[in-house]
Structure 1
Amino acid sequence: MCVKQKREKKKWNGTKWKKVLNILLKVLGAIVVAFLLFVAAVYTVNKISSHSEKKRLEPYGQHVSVDGKQMNVTIQGKGDETIVILPGFGTASPALDFKPLISELSPYYKVVVVEPFGYGLSDQTEKERSTANIVSEIHEALQSLHIDRYILMGHSISGIYSLDYVNKYANEVRAFVGLDSSVPSLSEQKIDSSDTQPIKWFRDLGFARVQLKLSADPYDELPYDEQTKEQLNILIRKNMYNTTQLNEAESMYSNFKTAEKQTFPPNLPVLFFVQANHPGTDQWIPEHEKLIKDSVHGEMVLLEANHYLYRSHSKEIAEKFMNFMGRIQ
């Protein structure tokens, strides 16, 4: 091959690679533009939908002033004894979420559902989500309503907060009922602010709504009417990944560590409702047993249910709870 032919081949190869490179750049540019348009569409739809849902949100309960902010509390029933219910982590609307259980208990008790800051219709707060702060805020809400003698009932993470609560306010709490409540020895993983920052971007761009759209309905085939389910879904989208709850997630590991030093007072009646088959650990039942081994009145009821057992087994929980309270009178 002569020098001229070599030059022409080299030139042709260079032209070919330039064309390939141009095509690749155009494809890449198209992908980037398409992605940005998709993000913009998700963001816009989320903003419009959030504005529309805000108008359809129906207020419930009553606001009480706590630490200069508004905390939402609902009260149903007029029984002589009072039950105070505390939610698990991330519960979008405690008052509506516990509705099946409230319906079973309210004919016999006064049932109070506290929505901590960042939950339900309560304000958010920038204050550290330590157990001490959360417990103090809940107590302040109850004090403002002149509720000073009650049975404490807590789901999930509220079991950790309740350990501190029943020791601080032992003269007020008549008994504790755990609804698949957390135990100190089975701690959550440590979460830092660097872990929650991407979640905030995910939320602010509107992708939390997409996530919910692709997820199964947690209230499907459960005893909730359509109006309640609609309001629950609005509040799930409103409160999901809010800053207060993310701050609580960051404080969770240290809150579990603090709880390791605590136990229930031996003379406090304790009743646990626990899922019989925990999907993540075989220590769920043994660790609950340890917490009540020194209790004068300590019992555990196993249920064939998931973590949100009060949604599906409210009638059974109410019956066994009332039976338990009748035996410790």
Structure 2
Amino acid sequence: MSKKWRKRLVKFLIVDLSLIIILLGCGLIYQQVGASQDEKSFTPPGKLYEIHGNKMHLYTGGEGDVTVVLASGWGTANPYVDYYPLYEKLAPNAKFAVYDRFGYGYSDKTDKKRDVDTVADELHELLQVSGQKPPYVLVAHSLGSLETIRFAQKYPDLVKGIVMIDGGSPEYYENDLDNPADTIGGFGNQFRIKTGLFRLSMQSQQVVDASNANRNELKLVPADLKKADKTALLLNYGNSDTIDELREANANAKTVIANKKPLPFPLTILTADYFGKTEPDWVKTQAEFKSWSTQFKQVNVKDTDHYIHQYHPDIVADEILEVVKK
């Protein structure tokens, strides 16, 4: 290669590198400005309470002598929005309390490890500090099942019953090898978040609809809450708390199983049919949930995906209120 072409190649490389640096800088600024604007408009619908040195969000409503405590699944960026379809159905017959774990919704981030005992103790303190009186009917979606069962193990006198909304059994999570923590917390995905590429992709309605595909595209949620849900996702997706929660899933399941004994109150399992595409392991462990309670009931819900409450809130509310009234 001649000196002339070598010099041209060096110039091309310098120009390309300069363009990449400029684009990265623009992406970082775009992400930071967008996040700052989102934080200013992201107003909590409930109240914030200081728990273990950080602020935790709790939204409450309804009336009654029993409090329904709603735990979201992993990756549900805004639990308040997620459980919205249940509020009017529960309110006349029970109090309800939706909490955001640290790293979710309107709660702070924390530097405390997301082991199941810590999460259960944080919930216990939140309910006490906020004045939510027992007995509690604990409702959990997906991975929220682990902290719910652990809470019941540690504080059984406070619990009246449990309802799982397609919640995974401890045995399922103990043996689940398909953990996406390394992917979500990996360099590629974190680069995508920090440089604004994820934020940019979420400006496409097609991308937003795809992200909500297993939530019935939030068809039962009003437009302003859909916006709040998207904002929560932009602010919370891929943060260290949610990633650590995934990494701890197997260990948390083992902790729950190590303390296993049949719970002395009702345990209702609502199992989605995934529109006829359920996985055999999931079906098997859902049925085996019966070993966790002396009063077991399973309801197989048709024509639904993982977020059953976004497809059939009447069924979910009826099963919750059945436990409330026992």
Same-fold status (TM-score > 0.5): yes
Residue 208 of structure 2 corresponds to residue 216 of structure 1: yes
Whether the 8 Å CA contact 1:208–1:240 is kept in 2: the answer is no
Which amino acid counterpart does residue 216 of structure 1 have in structure 2?
A: V
Question: How far apart, CA to CA, are the structure 2 residues paired with 1:79 and 1:49?
Answer: 41
Distance in 1 of aligned mates of 2:143 and 2:13: 46
CA offsets per residue over residues 216-255 of structure 1, 9 Å max, x none?
A: 3326351111111111111111111122222222322321
- Call closer, same or farther: CA 1:195–1:80 in 2, change over 3 Å: closer
Aligned letter for 1:151? V
Deviation at 1:42, TM superposition (A): 1.7
Post-superposition Cα deviations, 1:112-140, rounded to whole Å, max 9, x if no partner, equal: 11111111111111011100100000001
Q: Label 1:28 to 1:157 Cα distance change in 2 as closer, same or farther (>3 A).
A: same
The alpha-carbon distance between structure 1 residues 231 and 264, as it changes in their structure 2 partners (threshold 3 A), is farther
Deviation at 1:312, TM superposition (A): 1.8
Match of 2:114 among 103, 116, 129: 129
Structure 1 position 295 matched with structure 2 position 293: yes
Counterpart mapping for 1:1-329 below 5 A:
14-15=1-2, 18=3, 20-146=5-131, 147-187=133-173, 188-189=176-177, 196=185, 198=187, 199-213=189-203, 215-217=207-209, 218=212, 220=217, 222-263=219-260, 265-277=262-274, 281-293=279-291, 295-303=293-301, 304-323=303-322, 325-326=324-325, 329=326
**CA–CA separation in structure 1 for the residues paired with 2:239 and 2:292:** 39
Question: Do the aligned partners of 1:191 and 1:253 also contact (CA within 8 Å) in 2?
Answer: no
Measured at CA, do residues 124 and 279 of structure 1 come closer, stay the same or move farther in structure 2, by a change above 3 Å? farther
Q: Secondary structure at the match of 2:294?
A: coil
Q: Is the 8 A contact 1:175 1:268 kept in 2?
A: yes
Q: Distance in 2 between matches of 1:233 and 1:31?
A: 34
Structure 2: segments with no counterpart, 5+ residues: none
Q: Write out per-residue CA displacement over residues 17-45 of structure 1, whole angstroms, 9 at most, x where no aligned residue.
A: x5555554444444333332222222121
Give the match's secondary structure for 2:97. strand
Q: Report if aligned partners of 2:270, 2:298 keep a CA contact under 8 Å in 1.
A: yes
Corresponding residue SS for 1:76? strand
Aligned to 1:6: none
> Which digits, 9 at most, give the CA deviation of each residue in 1:250-302, with x for residues without a partner?
32232123233344634220011111138573121221211214633211112
Letter in 2 for 1:282: P
How much is the aligned-residue C-alpha RMSD, in angstroms?
Answer: 2.5
Give the letter aligned to residue 206 of structure 1.
G
Whether the 8 Å contact between 2:137 and 2:324 is mirrored in structure 1 is no
Distance 2:251 2:281 in 1: 21
Q: State the TM-score, normalizing by the size of structure 2.
A: 0.86
**Distance in 2 between the 1:68 and 1:167 partners?**
25
1:205–1:144 distance in 2 versus 1, CA, 3 Å = same
Q: SS at 2:287's partner residue?
A: helix
Q: Residue type of the partner of 2:85?
A: P
Please give the alpha-carbon distance, in whole angstroms, between the structure 1 residues aligned to 2:61 and 2:192: 37
Contact 1:152 1:176 in 2 (8 A): yes
| Distance (Å, rounded) in 1 between the aligned partners of 2:258 and 2:286 | 15
Contact 1:266-1:295 at 8 Å conserved across structures: yes
Deviation at 1:61, TM superposition (A): 0.6
The aligned amino acid for 1:305 is T
Contiguous gaps of at least 5 residues in structure 1: 1-13
Higher relative contact order (CA 8 A, sep 6+): 2
Question: How does the TM-score come out when normalised to structure 1?
Answer: 0.85
Q: Distance in 2 between matches of 1:46 and 1:245?
A: 20
Q: Which amino acid aligns with 1:53?
A: D
Counterpart contact for 1:163–1:262, Cα < 8 Å? no
Same amino acid, percent of matched pairs: 22
CA contact (8 A) 1:269 1:298 kept: yes
Q: 139-148 or 207-216: which moved more?
A: 207-216
Residues 94 and 283 of structure 1: CA distance in aligned 2, closer, same or farther (over 3 Å): same
| 155-164 vs 291-300, greater mean Cα deviation | 291-300
2:170·2:256 contact (CA, 8 Å) conserved in 1? yes
C-alpha separation in 1, matches of 2:8 and 2:278:
49
